[in-house]
Amino acid sequence: MKLQKLGRALMLPIAVFPAAALLMGIGYALEESGMENLYFMAMILQKTGNVIISQMPMIFAIGVAYELSDDKSGLAACNGLLCFLIITSLLSVSNVSFLEDTLRFRVDEAFGNINNQFIGILSGLLAAFSYRRKHVSTNYLPADFRVLVYTSIFAMLCSIVLYIVWPLIFTLLISIGTMIKDMGPLGAGIYAFLNRLLVLLGLHHMLNSIFWFDVIGINDIGNYWAGTGIRGVTGMYQAGYYPIMMFGVVAMALAMYQCCFITRKKKMKPFFVSSAIASFLTGVTEPLEFSFMFLSPLLYVMHALLTGISVFMAASLQYIAGFSFSAGAIDFVLASSLPMAVKPYMLFVQGGLFFVIYYVLFRLMIKKFDLCTPGRENDQNEPFQEGSIAAEDLNEMAKVIIEGCGGAENIIAIHSCITRLHITLKDQDKFVFKRIRQNGAAGYLKTKEEIQIVYGAHVDAIMDVLKNYQL
């Protein structure tokens, strides 16, 4: 439940990222169109989107601290920012270089990406924890100042731990990269699997630098665009991402939307649509990934595994297309005509296959195991969704209620009262709340005489539809 609480907290900052990714993608497309009169607009769109995407870690720090504070405090949000600034400043390349013998490890590469999502989320958690110490009694410090002191101390202690641990992690990733460098397509698949797993910690940038740039001599992106690599090999650490980001993530968004509780579909639809479009056009997948990686780690591991399989397949079959920003449609158009491209159109065929795989597996697993994804959060204290509900949704809700009560033949009587449905059943053992909860029920109470299902202010509208079934 703690991971699920963090997952819900991430939804506040995540909501702004898909729109930012689209602004960047449109700006990028306008720039590449070659139309000089659109160049100024292209730069505005790119810079506007980039300032949001590039500050994703900082936005996480503020949003997580705010959402996890008990009273949604602005003070907690400010301290999230403070914590993030302290950690990233203390562990900046210039400070670490001053303290370290740079021959021991490559400081620029190890600490060059310390400004990442993991540090942002960690800062938010530390700030929220510090804010909760506000109520610890003391006669010496005002409460707000006490929070500031706690946040600063925790941030400094965290920096010390990361100063010790971060280089060890970087050295380990370099060793892994060197080990799988000569494994061919299998190594590419292993890399892609680890890449998605490390998104959680913000360490995928380190791993990417090993394979995409010239850290250990691979330089996959540079060689692809310069046409200086080996045709059929150069680009294999990139190509298999296209089927995932353009097709798999879109299918994932569709499956999760369709599995939303009925009462939350309307609220979640803009997020899923914008995330899917952003991923397809620009290859920015983090908004959707961060929305469920904490809510349902099992699904995220499956996503990482499928990404590894896709990159392995594309490398094995020599379907090659590189990218400069990420594996979205805009980059695909630009990269598929370069000399190093090999059968790039086949990546669309592979993408169609992965669309089906993602959709079927995600929908099946979410439903079968009742997994928590955006729009399916298990919060018994959350009231019924405000606003109107479409007639078709009410009809579907009525059907689910009847099924959850063991069928129409098991229902003796049913009526509504303020916020609850009161249902008398022939056999209460046939009642399955797990089924009913999926259409927005906030809870239930079972007595010897009846079962009361809590729906909130819309219970009368639900009851009107149930009457049509002549119960």
Residues marked active site are found at: 417
Burial class (CB within 10 angstroms; exposed 0-12, middle 13-18, buried 19+) of 247: buried
Query: What is the rounded distance in angstroms from the CA atom of residue 376 to the CA atom of residue 263?
Result: 10
- One-letter amino acid identity for 288? L
How much of the chain is helix, strand and coil, in % rounded to 5?
70, 5, 30
| DSSP calls for 174-208 | HHHHHHHGGGHHHHHHHHHHHHHHHGGGT-HHHHH
The alpha carbon dihedral of 181, 187, 190, 192 has a sign of: positive
DSSP state of 134: G
Helix, strand or coil, per DSSP, at residue 320: strand
Instruction: Note whether 65 and 79 are within 8 A (CB).
Output: yes
Instruction: Note whether 446 and 428 are within 8 A (CB).
Output: yes
Query: What is the rounded distance in angstroms from the CA atom of residue 383 to the CA atom of residue 456?
Result: 6
What is the layout of strands, in order, in the sheet containing 411-417?
Answer: 411-417, 420-425, 451-454, 443-446
Q: Which positions ≥6 away from 263 have C-beta within 8 Å? A: 384, 385, 389, 393, 439, 440
101: region left, alpha or beta (phi > 0 left; psi from -120 to 50 alpha): beta
Query: What is the rounded distance in angstroms from the CA atom of residue 128 to the CA atom of residue 234?
Result: 46
| DSSP calls for 442-469 | -EEEE-SS-EEEE--TTHHHHHHHHGGG
**CA-based nearest residue to 135, from 150, 155, 116:** 150
* Consecutive H or E run containing 333: helix 329-335
Tokens for 133, please give them. 């110490």
